[in-house]
Amino acid sequence: MKKIITKHNMPIYSSKIFDTYFGNRKCGVFDIETTGLSFTNDKIILTALLTVNDNIATVTQFLATSLNEESAVVKATLDYINEEGIDYLLTYNGASFDMPFLAVKATKYQIGKYIDCYILDLYRVFRNHSDLSNQMSSLSQKSMEKYLGIADDRFDTIDGKKSVELFKEYLITKEDALEKTILTHNREDVIQLYRLLEIIKYTDFHGAMYKYGFPYLAQDTCLSVTLKLSNGYLTISGNQISGLLSIDTFGDFNNNYEAVFDINNKKFQIKVPAFKEANGIYIDASFLNDSSMDLELINGYLILEEDKIKKHREINIFSMHLIDIIILSYSNK
């Protein structure tokens, strides 16, 4: 197995809506190359992780030089992701392919590493929370690069299928030129993927974060948050990733919610009563402090749904504020 590290100029991506969820979080842009699509029969032959610091991108790749080195590639990849302290992985169709493929291999080789960090899959954001699928015949990564006008910036000219063919040849010849071509294709995938974050402005990103959840850091506690508005409650739940807490509170007359943080199973759940009236669903948010004034309250109430349309931004941001209040209150005891 080979480990390859390259450096590239890369401005850190930032926008108001993106930073609401991922500002000050460490991103790892992740991609794998495999010999095929079968999680059980095919092999991982190459992985790449891109991180950005001070406008410099570092791309770290792990390349198998034989088919027997898959376990080494998987272990090195998981070790590196954990060592780097990645808060979220940016992928393209990774929630359906890269991550489960990696998980199957980790189980196969009994590698005791688990990726706790959040997975931001841009493909499903583009597919399910934008009109892009109606505008384009394909939502492949290279199609999205063309849409953004960055496709010609690539330094490679091959696709994933050709990369597999070249790898098979590389296993026999070990030619440096073949190795360079395979590595360049994989490296360009993560570099270009990071640049595709610009397309978020054409999506309903608040809606995507409501559906898929988001990572959140409150005090020293890192959470993976999921949301559900139904059956008379807004339920905020998920996993405690780090800074584990044990909390069991039912609030009071001013704080109308119940919260349970279980340190043993690393889960948490917060339930807030929601009231249906006329054409909307409301919650009593009068306990929010001045730092929460980015939410518009009406006589202390926050509208979460109106005319059967959920207000995803309001739900998400309210949930962040409530998590802050609960954890701050706990830490001050």
Closest among 298, 290, 300, 299 to 324, alpha carbons compared: 290
Residue 284 reports pLDDT greater than 80: yes
Whole-angstrom CA distances from 22 to 216, 220, 245 are: 8, 16, 22
Q: What is the 3-class SS of 112-179, one letter each residue?
A: CCCCCCEEEEHHHHHHHCECHHHHCCCCCHHHHHHHHCCHHHCCCCCCHHHHHHHHHHHHHHCCHHHH
Tens of pLDDT, residue by residue over 134-171, are 999 999 999 999 999 999 999 988 888 889 999 999 99
Region(s) of the chain under CATH 3.30.420.10: 2-206
**Which tens digits make up the pLDDT trace of 179-189?**
999 999 999 99
pLDDT at 277: 86
User: If residue 53 lies in a helix (H) or strand (E), which one and from where to where?
Assistant: strand 44-53
Name, in order, each residue with C-beta under 8 angstroms of 257's C-beta and a sequence gap of 6 or more: 250, 251, 270, 271, 272, 273, 322, 326
Residue 329 has pLDDT above 90, yes or no: no
Phi, psi of 312 (to 5 degrees): -60, -40
CATH match of 2-206 with 3.30.420.10: yes
Per-residue pLDDT reduced to its tens digit, 18-34:
999 999 899 999 999 99
CA distances in angstroms from 167 to 37, 82, 182, listed in the order given: 15, 28, 7
- The predicted pLDDT at position 253 comes to 47
* Cα angle for residues 77, 224, 37 (degrees, 5° grid): 40
Q: List 214's β-bridge partners, or say none.
A: 225
What is the percent of the chain where pLDDT is above 70? Answer: 96
> 289-308: per-residue pLDDT in tens?
655 558 888 888 999 999 99
Work out the pLDDT band at 331, boundaries 50, 70, 90. confident
pLDDT at 84 over 80: yes
- Please report the pLDDT score of residue 159 as a whole number: 84
pTM: 0.93
- Alpha carbon 247 to its chain centroid, in Å, reads 26
Least reliable range by pLDDT among 243-247, 260-264, 283-287, 293-297: 293-297
pLDDT value for 113: 67
Task: Supply the mean pLDDT for the chain.
Answer: 92
Q: Please state, as a whole number, how many other Cβ atoms lie within 10 Å of the Cβ of residue 54.
A: 6
CA-closest candidate to residue 35, choices 27, 25, 43: 43
- Say how far apart CA 110 and CA 124 lie, in whole Å: 30
Q: Reduced to 3 states, what is the DSSP secondary structure of residue 259?
A: strand
pLDDT for 161 equals 86
